[in-house]
Structure 1
Amino acid sequence: MPAIQPLENGKYYHIYNRGINSDILFKENGNYEHFLKLYDLHIEPMAETYAWCLMKNHFHFLIRIKEVEEIKTENKILPSQSFSNLFNAYTKAFNKKYNRHGALFERPFRRKSIENENYFQNLIAYIHNNPVHHNICEHPINYPWSSYITCISDKPTKLKRKEVIEIFNDVENFKYVHQLKSNDLTINSFL
């Protein structure tokens, strides 16, 4: 088994994982909502989020791990531990709700360092088009469990929307690239 890449402060990552044996992670809307609340609790203090998508049996996040001095909590735990805490807290709640036991997520969670702006832009479109790729909807605007709608909205958000839109130059180009990429993107080009 290859060594696990540590999450380094100041770097950008594609974080993704799925349920063990591709089992369902989110059975109902409340599951998605609870996972996102736990994400805010465990991940938001130590990372900036640029894109995300929760699917029934897997998820994707595009994040930047904050520099140590940017992290405003007294308890500065390792970024990988923050993700473990998120997965453990969600698993505990999920197991209790559905009367099950044992692990829910594959281990270790996957991470890929993002090294250039082109990859960054393509990854955002890939993440938002994941429901299209899996034939759940025809356009990312129709899927409620991703950051696509937040990116084109004016509502307050912790998502790094301004930076995301700047990568695409403007909102219209953001929409255009997402429409263009919906048929182009394959998981193999990113993983």
Structure 2
Amino acid sequence: MKLEVLEKDSYYHIYNRGINGCLIFENDENKSFFLKQLSKYLYDKISIFGYCLMDNHFHLVIRLNEEEQIVTQAFSNFLNSYVKAFNKEIDRTGSLFEKHFKRIKPNDEKYLKQLILYVHLNPKHHLGLKFEDYKYSSYQAFISNKVTKVEKDEVLKLFGGFENFIFCHNQKNDFLTEKYTFE
């Protein structure tokens, strides 16, 4: 699979999973640390439009604020820092993620909206959980009044406002898992 070249000011679906589908998060602390490291290494280099951390994979919807080389290096540093800490915690060695993080560039606004929906609905489709309550998804950040690092105003505008954002998430979205299978 040829990797999509990352371009400044473009949107991407960034995702990866554990080697052979292994767990990349064993507990909530791992997921919290992953988000902390994401912020530490990438906060000023990307804008986050959505994320979801599942036990054996993760999804990010981002826009690049810097050139490809800077962002790619920051992602490498971020993922390496997470893997080192994870491996040390569970007394493990070696690679944790599949070779390279995958990236797909949405080709239009409609695809970007469907991608955000897909990412937020991941807990429902993979685990049968209520996506609205899932702690390690950015959905909560969009519906709360708390200060957040996700691009809340921009995403809500993309969906036509807060009410429509919620409405779109609560529709029967089975087509998302059929048409947009990213794992």
TM-score (norm 1): 0.90
Shift of 1:108: 1.1
1:5 offset after TM fit, Å?
Answer: 2.0
- How high is the sequence identity, in percent, across the aligned residues? 41
Q: Could you tell me which amino acid in structure 2 is paired with residue 164 of structure 1?
A: V
The whole-number CA distance in structure 1 between the counterparts of 2:164 and 2:36 is 30
Q: Where do 5+ consecutive residues of structure 1 fail to align?
A: 69-75
Deviating above 6 A after TM superposition, structure 1's stretches of 4 or more consecutive aligned residues are none
Matched residues in 2 for 1:187 and 1:41: separation? 35
Is 1:105–2:104 an aligned residue pair? no
Moved more, 139-148 or 48-57: 139-148
Higher helix share: 2
Q: How far does the alpha carbon of each residue in 1:46-71 deviate from its partner, in whole angstroms, 9 at most, with x for none?
A: 10001000000000000000045xxx
Equivalent of 1:118 in 101, 104, 110: 110
Instruction: Indicate the residue corresponding to 1:72 in structure 2.
Output: none
What is the CA-CA distance between 1:26 and the residue it aligns to? 0.7
Q: CA deviation at 1:182?
A: 3.9
State the 1:142 CA deviation.
Answer: 1.6
Paired with 1:22 and 1:109, the residues of 2 have a C-alpha distance of 14
Q: Given the alignment, which residue of 138, 152, 155 partners 1:164? A: 155
Alignment RMSD: 1.6
1:45 is displaced (CA, Å) by: 1.8
Q: Is the 8 A contact 1:126 1:181 kept in 2?
A: no
Map of 2:7 onto structure 1 = 8
Q: Does 1:177 align with 2:178?
A: no
User: Secondary structure of 2:81's match?
Assistant: helix
Could you tell me the TM-score, scaled by structure 2's length? 0.93
Cα distance in structure 1, aligned partners of 2:43 and 2:172: 28
Does the 8 A contact of 1:133 with 1:182 survive in 2? no
Match runs of 1:1-191 below 5 Å: 2-67=1-66, 78-137=70-129, 139-186=130-177, 188-189=179-180, 191=182
Structure 2 unaligned blocks of 5 or more: none
